[in-house]
Amino acid sequence: MGDQNKLLETIHGTPMIKKVVQSALNSNLETVYIIVGHEAELIRQCISDELVHWVENPAWSSGMASSIRYGIKALKNNYDGAMILLGDMPFIEYKTIDEMVDLYHDRGIIVPVKDGKQGNPVLFSSTFFPDLRLLTGDKGAKRIIRENHDSVIHTTVLTDEIFHDLDTPEQMKERMGA
């Protein structure tokens, strides 16, 4: 996105990150944590009216894994699972989140799937918190999912929203025209 903070780009008049937070808050998730790094204060101002917990990620420039590490660390051992929602996936609806939460029974990894392809968000049992705390780079948790395939529970969804992150101005234009 160049010099623009993509999380502050608007989708139908609402900043991208706020759409993700609203979906999370409208879902059956117990608590919502927002991990902030780049332009953290602007993100806070954008969603300051929401009931969320804030986590600072001073290592944000090292990639997505640092946000996951800081988020999981902030949970301590107070939760039996954590769903990782990406701030650049503003089309995830609370219904998709709820479908995944409904499948969760304090075990495994819940992954949404459409047409045989895995998407996001992903819900991890606390069993995997130690592994999530060790992630590095900009790859997220795909390795953990791959290495623990016996623990993965796939849930079929009917929407492509699980695949659509917005990383470029072209993707923004394409999705807004859709």
Residue reference for tokens 């130690």: 130
Confidence of residue 135 (pLDDT cuts 50, 70, 90): very high
Q: Pairing between strand 33-36 and 53-56?
A: parallel
Do residues 124 and 132 make contact, with C-beta atoms less than 8 angstroms apart?
A: yes
pLDDT digits (tens, 9 = 90+) for 6-35: 888 888 888 999 999 999 999 999 999 999
pLDDT tens for each residue of 40-91:
999 999 997 778 999 999 999 888 899 999 999 999 888 999 999 999 999 9
Q: Is pLDDT of 96 > 90?
A: yes
- Distance, in Å, from the CA atom of 134 to the CA atom of 165, rounded to the nearest integer, reads 24
What pLDDT is stored for residue 1 in this prediction? Answer: 39
Q: Which domains does the chain have, with CATH numbers?
A: 6-171 (3.90.550.10)
- Span 161-171, pLDDT tens digits: 998 876 665 66
Q: What band does 107 get if pLDDT is binned at 50, 70 and 90?
A: confident
For residue 129, pLDDT over 60 is answered with yes
- At 94 the pLDDT is 95
Cβ contacts of 49 within 8 Å, gap of 6 or more = none
* Residues in a beta bridge with 39: none
Percent of the chain residues topping a pLDDT of 90: 66
Q: DSSP letters along the chain, please?
A: -TTS-GGGSEETTEEHHHHHHHHHHHTT-S--EEEE-TTHHHHHHHTTTS--EEEE-TTGGG-HHHHHHHHHHHHTTS-SEEEE--TT-TT--HHHHHHHHHH-SSSSEEEEEETTEE-S-EEEEGGGHHHHTT--TT-TTHHHHHHTGGGEEEEE-S-GGGG----SHHHHHHHHH-
Residue 122 predicted with pLDDT over 50? yes
